[in-house]
């Protein structure tokens, strides 16, 4: 299923922050996690994840550090920071509200 | 894409790591290597789109301790060198134009030495983890600011020595005192350093700018301490060439660090 550009953009931040809430990760792993959780339905243009990660870091939501991968390559890892947890909490409330409202609407329409 | 992301070395490193992971995964899934590479590049997105997205997230400056030390330490050093002139000036023991000349030139020398300090710090840091993109930007801005300060202060100070101080009955450039000639040489190098810092203010690596700064600090040591030693020798007084030689040798040794491979002292896994 191809999501609209606006929906991909809007959902990227809560998805990234939620994945990082589970622990440190890196760009490629984040993309694979989203594909896995969505059953392959959500596919991001891989490169577009990185500007979002950099913007989140500038905002203080996440923090990066360079490490070494299993193959010995330089790899940039990201962790969730305290402001990011607050943003995630806010995003969760908004998305759950939208989901609940749409569920009631569509449930009512099918009733 | 490399052109569009010029100066964003960390971004290019991150994208390269991503591409290699993708190529590895596709190769493991049975795709031939060149097909895997093409597919990975396609999935990454069009370079122009990627460049445009990153242009919306410009790199920000990140603090770097040596730059903070340079500004704070420099201010304290400058105050300790210039403030002692004030009592002599107040007591009438030092002509005002001469005091202004000495104070400005010393402040200009301090600024040049601070660029040398940043250069030495950078050359040492690159042997370990190196600097993040934001820290490179902070270093480049500090190098440019200090170079401009060095040119302004040394320039006005030297002008006082060459133009105004003859009024103090010492003759042009204090009778062509070696230290005044040294000051002129430092000023010329400061102009070269400033031009180099301006040209390299957005380059990916501050290495060239820092080498100019290191040579500038050597010029100050030679033009100040060295010239003082020569002046003393010319007047039959004891001259300390050994200290000058030791300081310049130490600066040359630091400059040689530029030939060591970057990251050669980085801890494994860091």
Interface predicted TM-score (ipTM): 0.85
**Tokens found for residue B180:** 């005044």
pLDDT by 10s per residue, chain B, length 270: 555 565 577 888 888 899 999 999 999 999 999 999 999 988 888 888 888 888 777 666 677 889 999 999 999 988 888 788 777 767 766 567 777 888 889 899 999 999 999 999 999 988 887 777 778 888 999 999 999 999 999 999 888 877 766 555 555 555 567 888 888 889 999 999 999 989 888 777 888 889 999 999 999 999 988 988 888 888 888 888 898 999 999 999 999 998 888 778 875 444
Beta-carbon count within 10 A of B44 CB: 21
pTM score above 0.80:
no
Q: Is A109 exposed, middle or buried (0-12, 13-18, 19+ CB in 10 A)?
A: exposed
Asked if residue B57 lies in contact with residue B78, where contact means CB atoms within 8 angstroms, the answer is: no
Whether A27 sits inside 8 A of B44 (CB atoms) is no
User: Domain residue spans in chain A?
Assistant: 5-110
Q: Find, in chain B, the residue whose alpha carbon is nearest to that of A64.
A: B132
Among the residues of chain B, which ranges form H helices? 9-28, 33-44, 47-55, 65-82, 85-90, 96-125, 133-159, 173-176, 178-199, 207-220, 227-234, 241-256
- Smallest Cα–Cα separation from A52: which of A36, A66, A68, A31? A31
What domains can be seen in chain B, in order of their start residue? 9-55 (no CATH), 65-259 (1.20.120)
Read off the DSSP letter of residue B260: S
Q: How far apart are CA B184 and CA B198, in angstroms?
A: 21
Regarding the domain delimited by A5-110, which CATH topology (the fold level of the hierarchy) does it fall under? Arc Repressor Mutant, subunit A (1.10.10)
Phi, psi of B220 (to 5 degrees): -65, -45
- Residue B11 makes CB contacts below 8 A (sequence gap 6+) with A50, A54, B5, B54, B133
Distance from CA of B35 to the nearest CA of A (A): 17
Q: Which of B10, B45, B56 sits opposite A45 (nearest CB)?
A: B45
Ordered strands of the A62-68 beta sheet = A25-26, A74-80, A62-68
Q: Which of A26, A58, A76 sits opposite B57 (nearest CB)?
A: A58
The torsion of the CA quartet B197, B200, B205, B208, rounded to 10 degrees, works out to: -60
**Tokens found for residue A72:** 């010995």
Whether B57 sits inside 8 A of A69 (CB atoms) is no
Q: How far apart are CA B10 and CA B94, in angstroms?
A: 54
Q: Which of A47, A58, A68 sits opposite B50 (nearest CB)?
A: A47
Which residues pair with residue A63 across a beta bridge?
A79
Q: Which stretch of DSSP H or E encloses residue A7?
A: helix A5-21
Q: How far apart are CA B156 and CA B171, in angstroms?
A: 18
Low-confidence residues in chain A, pLDDT < 50 = none
Q: How far apart are CA A35 and CA A29, in angstroms?
A: 10
Read off the DSSP letter of residue A46: G
Asked if residue B132 lies in contact with residue B62, where contact means CB atoms within 8 angstroms, the answer is: yes
Asked if residue A19 lies in contact with residue A33, where contact means CB atoms within 8 angstroms, the answer is: yes
Whether A28 sits inside 8 A of B22 (CB atoms) is yes
Alpha carbon of B8 to those of A58, B16, B166, B175, B224: distances in Å? 15, 13, 52, 52, 39
């Amino acid at each position: 299923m191809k999501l609209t550009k606006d929906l991909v953009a809007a959902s990227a931040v809560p998805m990234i922050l939620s994945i990082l809430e589970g622990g440190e990760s890196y760009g490629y792993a984040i993309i694979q996690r989203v594909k896995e959780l969505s059953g392959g339905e959500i596919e991001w243009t891989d490169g577009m994840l990185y500007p979002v990660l950099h913007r989140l870091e500038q905002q203080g939501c996440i923090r990066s550090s360079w490490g070494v991968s299993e193959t010995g390559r330089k790899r940039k890892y990201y962790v969730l920071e305290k402001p990011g947890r607050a943003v995630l909490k806010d995003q969760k409330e908004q998305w759950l509200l939208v989901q609940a409202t749409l569920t009631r609407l569509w449930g009512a329409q099918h009733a | 894409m490399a052109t569009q992301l010029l100066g964003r070395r960390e971004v290019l490193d991150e994208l390269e790591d991503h591409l290699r992971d993708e190529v590895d995964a596709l190769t493991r899934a049975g795709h031939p290597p060149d097909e895997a590479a093409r597919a990975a590049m396609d999935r990454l997105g069009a370079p122009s789109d990627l460049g445009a997205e990153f242009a919306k997230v410009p790199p920000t400056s990140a603090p770097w301790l040596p730059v903070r030390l340079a500004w704070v330490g420099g201010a304290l050093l400058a105050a300790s060198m210039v403030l002692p002139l004030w009592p002599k000036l107040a007591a009438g023991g030092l002509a005002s134009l001469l005091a202004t000349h000495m104070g400005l030139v010393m402040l200009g020398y301090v600024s040049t030495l601070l660029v040398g300090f940043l250069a030495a710090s950078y050359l040492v840091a690159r042997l370990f983890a190196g600097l993040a993109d934001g820290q490179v930007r902070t270093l480049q801005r500090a190098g440019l600011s200090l170079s401009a300060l060095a040119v302004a202060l040394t320039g006005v100070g030297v002008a006082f020595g060459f133009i105004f101080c003859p009024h103090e009955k010492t003759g042009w450039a204090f009778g062509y005192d070696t230290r005044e000639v040294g000051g002129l040489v430092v000023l010329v190098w400061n102009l070269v350093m400033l031009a180099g810092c301006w040209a390299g203010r957005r380059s990916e690596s501050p290495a060239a700018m820092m080498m100019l700064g290191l040579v500038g600090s050597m010029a100050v040591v030679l033009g100040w301490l060295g010239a003082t030693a020569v002046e003393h020798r010319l007047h039959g007084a004891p001259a300390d060439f050994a200290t000058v030689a030791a300081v310049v040798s130490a600066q040359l040794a630091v400059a040689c660090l530029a030939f060591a491979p970057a990251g050669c002292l980085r801890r494994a896994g860091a």
